[in-house]
A = this chain, B = another copy of it.
């Protein structure tokens, strides 16, 4: 793939050839039966990835559009408790502030959520909880099931951002009590960016806000999806639907469990490499199950500059991510999302190890070998 960097980011991720090929097709009419079947097929394959049998729609907008759709359709003028331990939790809080009476239940980025404070807000009448399942900005996976139990106990709706977990990690929206969940196309599904999918529980429909936005009005999506052929209320990004469909056929062929297991193994390989090098993961967690399975954040040792390190890696044709906002310069992040495979992880680790050495960090052990042990 000359001229193209290997994107080992927490999205966008490399897109399989078959998915890209289909976008060469000529435009099709989005009010016809072919598009309707395509949409229905996408929904059929997506539902089990969400762990839901609820309504599910595809929006022509990226993950942030789905975040806003969730909050705007169910949170207007309501009391919203926003769990925040990273950039995307913060974004959901900011969106919540634009629509409702939002409370920031914040912890330092990458540290566990403050569930005691959540409970007190629920006791005081919070009607909606927002949660990011997999917080890529901080490499942490949040305990969605636990949050779901608390929300149900207090009869609040739960909005869960599954943008970077759905399709790469276990998500059981219905069992966990998640009312609204959403995913982005360019993360674990390995499709091009620009679409998001959102599920809505029966409980949530019963509490639909009366005043809603227009382009992201989920009641309009419900109405159009119920027609024959299945449609979207406004012109969808048809080409991206074609691509998402191919990406989902790949997911279906691999099988959900196998796909999740692959994500687990790849991210564990990255963690083992970091530890072999003598570096600390970010955050430092006791319980290994709370590390993200789709991205790994590693703390820079003192003296290593982010731009230099990622510059060397980029020169070799691989893009990894730095930290965002308050974590800028403090961490680097390696994605293991979507269609990423063992050779790509190994090449990435090899060049990172090389860069660390070149920049004067006394690499303790052979990280690439440690990763091989996990991957073989």
A contact residues vs B (CB 8 Å cutoff): 1, 4-5, 7, 9, 11-15, 20-21, 23-30, 32, 60-65, 67-68, 72, 94-95, 98, 184, 186, 192-195, 211-216, 234-240, 243, 319
- Across-interface contacts of A239 in B (CB, < 8 A): 23, 192-194, 239-240, 243
CB pair B26–A23 under 8 Å, yes or no, is: no
- Across-interface contacts of A238 in B (CB, < 8 A): 12, 192-194
A104 nearest CB across to chain B (Å): 16
Contacting residue for A237 out of B5, B26, B214, B237, CB 8 A:
B237
Q: A214-B95, A215-B65, A215-B216 are in contact. Are A192 and B27 (CB under 8 A)?
A: yes
CB pair A234–B24 under 8 Å, yes or no, is: no
A243 nearest in chain B by CB position: B239
Distance, CA A14 to CA B94, complexed state (A): 40
Distance, CA A61 to CA B20, complexed state (A): 20
Known: A23-B239, A62-B237, A194-B240. 6 other contacts (CB 8 A): A12-B28, A12-B238, A21-B24, A68-B214, A193-B235, A193-B236
Supply 18 A–B pairs (Cβ within 8 Å), ascending by A: A4-B28, A5-B28, A7-B26, A12-B29, A12-B235, A13-B27, A20-B25, A27-B192, A29-B319, A60-B65, A61-B65, A62-B236, A64-B215, A98-B211, A193-B236, A193-B237, A195-B237, A213-B213
Distance, CA A16 to CA B237, complexed state (A): 17
- Across-interface contacts of A237 in B (CB, < 8 A): 62, 192-195, 237, 240
A17 nearest in chain B by CB position: B24
CB pair A5–B29 under 8 Å, yes or no, is: yes
So how many copies of this chain end up in the complex? 2
Distance, CA A319 to CA B72, complexed state (A): 37
Distance, CA A214 to CA B95, complexed state (A): 6
CB pair B186–A235 under 8 Å, yes or no, is: yes
Distance, CA A211 to CA B215, complexed state (A): 17
- Across-interface contacts of A234 in B (CB, < 8 A): 62-65
Contacting residue for A193 out of B27, B98, B243, CB 8 A:
B27
Contacting residue for A235 out of B7, B184, B214, CB 8 A:
B184
Report which residue of A13, A64, A67, A214 has the largest number of chain B beta carbons within 10 angstroms of its beta carbon. Answer: A214
- Across-interface contacts of A24 in B (CB, < 8 A): 20-21, 23-24
Q: A23-B20, A24-B24 are in contact. Are A235 and B68 (CB under 8 A)?
A: no
A224 nearest CB across to chain B (Å): 12
- Across-interface contacts of A61 in B (CB, < 8 A): 60-61, 65, 215
Distance, CA A235 to CA B12, complexed state (A): 9
Distance, CA A255 to CA B186, complexed state (A): 35
Distance, CA A30 to CA B10, complexed state (A): 12
Distance, CA A13 to CA B32, complexed state (A): 14
- Across-interface contacts of A7 in B (CB, < 8 A): 26-29
